Amino acid sequence: MASNYRIYLFGNVRVEKDGQAVDNFDSRKALAMLGYLIRQPQPVSRSQLAGLFWGEKSEARGRRNLSRELSQLSSRLPDAFQADYHTVQFHPSPAYWVDAVAFETLARQGGRFTWPHSADDLADLTPDAAPAEEESVQPDQLAEAVELYQGDFMAGYYLDDCPEFESWLLSQQEGWRRQVVEVLETLVAYHAVHAADDKAESFARRWLEVEPWQEEAHRYLMVLLARSGKRAAALAQYDICQRVLEEELGAEPEEETTALVQRIQAGEIKKQGSRSLESLTTAPSPATPPPAAPSRPTLKIRAPSPATPLVNRTDELKQVAAFFRQPDYRLLTLVGPGGIGKTRLALEAAWQVKETEGNDPVEFAHGVYFIPLDSLSSVDFLVSTLADALGFSFYSGSDPAAQLLNYLREKAMLLVLDNLEHLLSTPAAGPNAADLIDQILTDAPQVKILTVSRERLNLLDEQLLPVYGLAL
């Protein structure tokens, strides 16, 4: 059976073969060349590639280096290239999938929605004021495209001795950001016009993850919050906008933004009645059978498989399962001395979520993540460790913790944080691990956290499950 390859260029560059990472590339230049060739619509001359990646060498030396790298790429990615003595082209078989190519296809098929033209238009929108004729928009395809964008194109893939490649990469990153923003603006406008404000708000926040300094995105979010009856949150968003502009650009908000916040303060933006997209379509007649329920997506679980069976922990497992089923319980700490099996119990609990997936399970639509923390020497590395485990890539110019919180805001997932105790002491500057967990619980209402620690976290909403040694 032929293998299937997936190439990810958004965020951290990586290649998978049949679901397993292909990580034996001999140099960063090999993957850099792969990304470059994927983006070229025509064959590229070998001389051009040699100059791009080995410009400081003679042409003969550069071409030899190129031949070596291409040979290694071809051995790991068979049938992905067409090459002759003069040119090279990425020309894969259907077995290859590339996130950037998939994004372009989905974005093109998803269409564009160009009204309202601004946040001010949205602020003045009434339920009966939507345009009579809508452009053809497929919001699900656009949302799928956005989900593929996990960070800047080839994020951090700079090569010190390749200035021309770096210039090309910066241009690509800016171009992709523009495309993503166009898709996000379409999704915000489309859902806002249809009074699906929760979806519009989610995409506005995603827009701000990509461009935290973009005032139009801040304005859209302020309007959406205000017309959802969240006036205080809308005013707080203005404060965030002010701070980001000062920190990133040394600028003040535009007149449009200050005028909008004044309208919100004056109560001029009225709360909208809640309508869904479904309410704007014709309801089926009573004789029409209801549509079949959508199939449940497979639960993602990122945790090592237990190597041995769990013995004599049935009661504790039942208590953890009961915690998962309680919507008001968000934080559970397995607390006890070291070496008595807390980690093994947490692993078993995580995998039992997977095993009960088809039998009225707890909903963790975005997955279960087991994140060991024993190797962290400082709480300073906690945010980046969580981001790596979740597959989230930071972008430059904004506080990493704020980016992570924005990413988690709309997620429904379980985080299992193992060996937390050494990160609970307060550092000389900044928050400790308990402070970050408290902020996640505040900002991400659908996230639950199971911690494994020798000490309690001493948070208000913390539930404790003491774990004792087994009787001999």
**Domains recognised in the chain with CATH numbers:** 5-94 (1.10.10.10), 100-265 (1.25.40.10), 301-466 (3.40.50.300)
Is the pTM higher than 0.75? The answer reads no
413-418 β-sheet, strand order: 301-302, 368-372, 413-418, 447-453, 331-335, 462-466
* Interval 209-265: pLDDT, tens: 999 999 999 999 999 988 888 888 889 899 999 999 998 888 999 999 999 999 988
Distant-in-sequence, close-in-space partners of 236: CB < 8 Å, separation ≥ 6 = none
Assess contact for 12 and 151: CB atoms under 8 A.
yes
252 and 245 Cβ atoms separated by less than 8 Å: yes
- The residues, any chain, with a CB within 8 Å of residue 133's CB and separated by 6 or more, are none
How confident is the model over 293-321, as pLDDT tens digits? 333 344 555 656 555 556 677 888 888 88
Kindly give the residue spans of alpha helices, DSSP state H, lying in 160-254.
163-193, 197-210, 215-227, 231-249
In angstroms, rounded to a whole number, what is the distance separating the alpha carbons of residues 280 and 227? 19
Mark out the alpha helices in 326-467 (DSSP H runs): 342-355, 382-390, 400-408, 433-443
pLDDT value of position 219 = 92
The rounded distance, in Å, linking the Cα atoms of 312 and 470 is 8
Q: Is the pLDDT of residue 266 over 60?
A: yes
Whether 90 shows a pLDDT value over 50: the answer reads yes
Q: Whose CA is closest to 433, among 447, 451, 407?
A: 451
pLDDT for position 88: 93
Share of the chain above pLDDT 70, in %: 81
pLDDT single digits (tens) 423-463: 887 665 567 899 999 999 999 999 999 999 999 999 988 99
Contact 177, 36 (CB under 8 A): no
Is 390's pLDDT higher than 70? yes
Query: Please, which pLDDT band fits residue 98 given cuts at 50, 70 and 90?
Result: very high
The CA distance from 368 to 354, in Å, is 9
What is the arithmetic mean of pLDDT over 33-47? Answer: 92
pLDDT at site 281: 30
pLDDT score for 103: 95
Q: Quickly state the pLDDT bin for 6 (edges 50, 70, 90).
A: very high
Higher-confidence residue: 204 or 376?
Answer: 204
Edge-first strand listing for the sheet containing 96-98: 20-21, 14-17, 5-8, 96-98
Average pLDDT over residues 140-156: 92
Residue 284 pLDDT grade (very low, low, confident, very high; cuts 50, 70, 90): very low
CA 388 to chain CA centroid, nearest Å: 11
142 contacts 109 by C-beta, under 8 angstroms: no
Q: How many Å apart are CA 64 and CA 425, to the nearest integer?
A: 55
Q: Is the pLDDT of residue 358 over 80?
A: no
Return all residues near 445 (Cβ < 8 A) that are at least 6 apart.
none
Q: What is the sign, positive or negative, of the torsion defined by CA atoms of 405, 406, 409, 414?
A: negative
pLDDT of residue 381: 80
Task: Give kind and range of the element (H or E) at residue 28.
Answer: helix 28-38
DSSP-based three-state secondary structure for 21: strand
Q: What pLDDT score was predicted for residue 303?
A: 59
Query: Over 90: is that where the pLDDT of 417 sits?
Result: yes
Q: What is the pLDDT of residue 107?
A: 92
Q: Measuring CA to CA, which residue among 153, 114, 161 is closest to residue 134? A: 114
Task: Tell whether the model's pLDDT for residue 46 goes beyond 70.
Answer: yes
